[in-house]
Structure 1
């Protein structure tokens, strides 16, 4: 499990962003000022830092430079300032990415995972090809095949299938699927998940009316059963 440091003004254990990160499978430590961050920082136990530039005490840009001098742990800056000059300054200070507020939670999670992948040793980088039963998904080429035949999927349907294939045999609630595909703040209702699942069944199942792989778990959600 990747350990994320969330350094954010007025951050707390109940911070909505920290809650979202935990629901997305991350271990999270929240720190609300730069002084405490410098004192407690241990690069051996931190995989990625989310750094809000609006911090009391040590300004976020200065804190980013200090952290970068001490380690190569990836840093993503969070800020409401979105001019080209601000972005360039953030990257030159040592940030690996720069996300402006307000941001969609799904986009932030995707950027975090992309940065984490870039910093993994080659032998630990997960395969870009997923597969279960008759389904094969090539994430790099953005292609899906069923029984060897190519299938065209819209972006959200593709992302939904990816989430399912990454957790074969695990029941995923509609809320979890919404968080990971659309984002917790998207306003998407659970019916949208049901619609996408029906679309996937028609494309992937031999008999969509009697699905063998994309199964509904009544009262809970869905599971991809290989």
Structure 2
């Protein structure tokens, strides 16, 4: 990881907390210990960690209550530690937003591994979300090479798809023909302005076929094109 992610460890047993600190720090994480439940939610809100290790049984306030409080302001991954292994506690914890459980006694290495798995899954989900672009009622899924205007699919060539994607990434911004050329062709070929204009004409035609008078694509005389 390029930056050290922060893990808040809410645990009232100092030896367990320190063991977790040692293992997380060995894997490149920063750590913060909160030793009771009273101020746990406030500490998590203030520090904005990438993950929380939350003991179920804490002084002053239970881990389930803290989990519920945290979910009111954050989607941070929460892994709960518990010595209570009955199914009711597990289901209750998951229903209020815990991402995972691990039972005491546990392997600290397993705790670190589970947190890393959760963070990787979240990163992948975030990346997939980023790859779906939208502007007004135009949607582009760059992973699946799918483009829709409203509910109507657009049958775009690869060059047209890349051109429209470049415009959707920067709505309202005029992209020059040179800039569009670089987005359309990844082999540094030289094409004329008329070639870009021809592709953009085709894109406009397909937008109009999908939805008449959509008024999304605009040409700016002597400069280039924009979506607005």
- In the superposition, the TM-score normalised over structure 2's length comes to 0.50
CA distance in 2: counterparts of 1:101 and 1:12, whole angstroms: 13
Question: Are residues 1:38 and 2:22 paired?
Answer: no
Q: Secondary structure at the match of 2:72?
A: helix
Q: Secondary structure at the match of 2:102?
A: strand
Q: 2:70 aligns with which of 59, 67, 71?
A: 67
Aligned twin of 1:20 = 23
CA-to-partner distance for each residue in 1:68-127, whole Å, 9 max, x for gaps? 111101100001111222211111121000111111223222211111112222179xxx
CA-to-partner distance for each residue in 1:169-208, whole Å, 9 max, x for gaps? xxxxxxxxxxxxxxxxxxxxxxxxxxxxxxxxxxxxxxxx
Kept in 1: contact 2:17–2:33 (CA 8 A): no
Q: Which runs of 5+ in 1 are unaligned?
A: 125-226
Q: How many residues align?
A: 125
Question: Are residues 1:97 and 2:100 paired?
Answer: yes
Kept in 2: contact 1:22–1:28 (CA 8 A): yes
CA distance in 2: counterparts of 1:98 and 1:111, whole angstroms: 9
CA distance in 1: counterparts of 2:8 and 2:122, whole angstroms: 16
Question: Are residues 1:57 and 2:73 paired?
Answer: no
Aligned twin of 2:127 = 122
Q: 1:11 to 1:31 in 2, by over 3 A?
A: farther
Q: 1:43 to 1:94 in 2, by over 3 A?
A: farther
Kept in 2: contact 1:50–1:75 (CA 8 A): yes
Q: 1:26 to 1:69 in 2, by over 3 A?
A: same
Kept in 2: contact 1:43–1:71 (CA 8 A): no
Which protein has the larger Cα radius of gyration, Structure 1 or Structure 2? Answer: 2
CA-to-partner distance for each residue in 1:33-56, whole Å, 9 max, x for gaps? 122222223367310000001100
CA-to-partner distance for each residue in 1:5-59, whole Å, 9 max, x for gaps? 0000144897122112111211000001122222223367310000001100111
Q: Secondary structure at the match of 1:86?
A: helix
Pick the structure with more helix per residue.
Answer: 2
CA distance in 2: counterparts of 1:117 and 1:100, whole angstroms: 22
Kept in 2: contact 1:34–1:56 (CA 8 A): yes
Q: Which runs of 5+ in 2 are unaligned?
A: 130-228
**Aligned-residue CA RMSD in angstroms?**
2.5
CA distance in 1: counterparts of 2:18 and 2:57, whole angstroms: 16
CA distance in 2: counterparts of 1:68 and 1:93, whole angstroms: 8
Kept in 1: contact 2:11–2:17 (CA 8 A): no
Q: 2:113 aligns with which of 93, 110, 114?
A: 110
Shift of 1:61: 0.7
